[in-house]
Amino acid sequence: MGKLIIKLYHPAALLLLLISCQRSGQHTIIQNKGSDTLVNLAQMWAEEYSKVEPTVALAVSGGGSGTGIAALINGTVDIANSSRRIKNQEKHDAEKFHQAAVQEHIVGYDALAVFVHPKNPIDGMTIEEIGCIYGKRGKCNYWSDIRGTVVPGCKDNQIIRISRQSNSGTYQYFRDAILGPTQDFRLGSMDLNGSREGIDMVAQTPCSIGYTGMGYLSNHVKTICIAKDSQSQCIAPTPANALDRSYPIARELFMYTVGPLKSDLKKFFDWIKTDAAKKLTIQSGFVPVP
């Protein structure tokens, strides 16, 4: 018959064990979801913030601004990241579900950049020309329709339009800023999930054109300047031009919450305003809030 062994803990060791269990139970997870434009910066913030507040973890995921806001409405996230302003209906739905007001936090600024293949000789375009390529009423099907442009390596000189899926805040902001409220995207574009996929596609396809937040730009594509019209100066998508809004399609970047900020959320949003957080914003290619 085996012996029954009862292990007795020293009182001091037992106290340490109980304290350890209590601390692990106090660990807070903040759910953060939404914009693919913001996801890299949000992840960098989460990693750095865990060093400041070790008992708080931010679980960050993308999926698009619309996805994040939908999750905020149904209560499955604490923070929704968005590269476009929340719609009135979305705000109404969230406030009705939670019986509390939606809070908008501007966390940075971005210049929505338009880019082409490095072989493309075009250096700049007007908003009207971009709308002629992407808009439903547009008739620019070939690069020659844009001031007689000929793109080396582009068979038939036909434009390949790279776009985003409709749940993307970048997609919706681009539509509103370039096409206006009375026009939608034309059919036949390649609608990709994320900004990185768009960069990679254009880098490999001489005929193509795409758009993204400036935090995703790389030397593998050619970023063009944009003019409001043929009489206006062509402005490059730079941090300075995004901040002073001289770039025609500069925008704010948002985080949304519902109701009064709880202690852990308030501490996080206060930390976003610090120099440490702003340095990460700059590293991500965006402009911190002054």
Write the single-letter amino acid at 69. I
pLDDT digits (tens, 9 = 90+) for 164-194: 999 899 999 999 999 998 899 999 999 998 8
Share of the chain above pLDDT 70, in %: 91
pLDDT digits (tens, 9 = 90+) for 236-274: 999 999 999 999 999 999 999 999 999 999 999 999 999
Residue 28 has pLDDT above 80, yes or no: yes
Domains, in order of start, for the chain: 29-108+252-283 (3.40.190.10), 111-250 (3.40.190.10)
pLDDT tier, 25 (very low <50, low <70, confident <90, very high otherwise): low
Residue 64 has pLDDT above 60, yes or no: yes
**Shortest CA distance to 193 belongs to which of 35, 58, 53, 42?**
35
pLDDT digits (tens, 9 = 90+) for 200-235: 999 999 999 999 999 899 999 999 999 999 999 999
Q: What is the structure's pLDDT at 253?
A: 97
How confident is the prediction for the chain on average, in pLDDT? 91
Residue 14 has pLDDT above 80, yes or no: no
pLDDT digits (tens, 9 = 90+) for 85-136: 999 999 999 999 999 999 999 999 999 999 999 999 999 999 999 999 999 9
CA gap 278, 276 in Å, rounded = 6
Q: What is the reported pTM?
A: 0.84
